[in-house]
Amino acid sequence: MEVSKAVSERKSIRSFLDKKVSNELIKELLHKSARSPSGGNLQPWKIYVINNESMKKFLHFQEKWTKPETPAYDIYPPKLKEPYRTSRFELGEKMYELLEIPREDKDGRIAQVMKNFRFFDAPCAFFCFVDRQMGPPQWSDLGMFLQTFMLLAKEAGLDTCAQEAWSMKHDSVSEFVQADQEDILFCGMCIGYQDETQKVNSLNSDRRPLQDWAKFL
């Protein structure tokens, strides 16, 4: 698959088929993804894969977890500036319009958000952690790793959705995967085969025009 094709075809998938993904394939994709660049070659990513039995156990564990959790970090700045605020708002509105969940239907919208915590029914997933010692440069390295993984997954016929939502479940996820105390959870990654019959997967996110964010001097 051409890189351009993988880039244009990758999109966030929020409903998956009940179709297994082998650990061997995930291992191969992770191995290849580790060719991602990182400043000073630190390779700061720490990955925990859950699949098959561990996925069943994890979902069961999540259901039983009742302790309140402190979010690992602010997903967005508290006062998100323009144009970012509008981009975020438009994405949400586009998705809820597609799903026919009006703004007044607060429960409906919350129920959609909560699907994050079942990995949108993906059969396989991973969590990406990083040592708390690391700062913005190393967090950006995680992004490179994650995008490389998502493109390679596309090439392998798989679909994905990165999930910062899991930062709200830092404690329970850390306990389940037995993460090192020094590590912080950045995000989850749903992995599987998209359910093409589900409207949510027809969502196509917009991009701001190039002249708004690139200047040629």
Ligand X SMILES: Cc1cc2nc3c(=O)[nH]c(=O)nc-3n(C[C@H](O)[C@H](O)[C@H](O)COP(=O)(O)O)c2cc1C
Q: C-beta of 213: minimal distance to ligand X in Å?
A: 15
Asked whether position 116 contacts ligand X by CB under 6 A, the answer is yes
- Cα gap 94→207, rounded to integer Å: 13
Closer of 53 and 74 to ligand X (Cβ): 74
**Which residue, 10 or 32, has its beta carbon nearer to ligand X?**
10
- Tokens representing 195 are 């359910």
Closest among 181, 200, 192 to 158, alpha carbons compared: 192
Q: DSSP label at 157? A: T
Binding letters toward ligand X, positions 47-86, x by CB under 6 A: ----------------------------------------
The order of strands in the sheet holding 124-131 is 46-51, 124-131, 183-192, 159-163
**Per CB under 6 A, 112 contacts ligand X:** no
In terms of DSSP bridges, do strands 124-131 and 183-192 run parallel, antiparallel, or are they unpaired? antiparallel
Compose the 146-165 pattern: x for residues touching ligand X by CB under 6 A, - for all others: ---------------xxxxx
| 121 contributes a contact to ligand X by CB under 6 A | no
Least Å distance between CB 13 and ligand X?
Answer: 8
Does position 205 interact with ligand X (CB under 6 A)? The reply is yes
Q: Letter for the amino acid at 216?
A: F
Site for ligand X contains 32 (CB under 6 A): no
- 117 Rama sector, left if φ>0, alpha if ψ -120 to 50, beta otherwise: alpha
- The residues binding ligand X (CB under 6 A) are 11-12, 14, 91, 116, 161-165, 187, 205
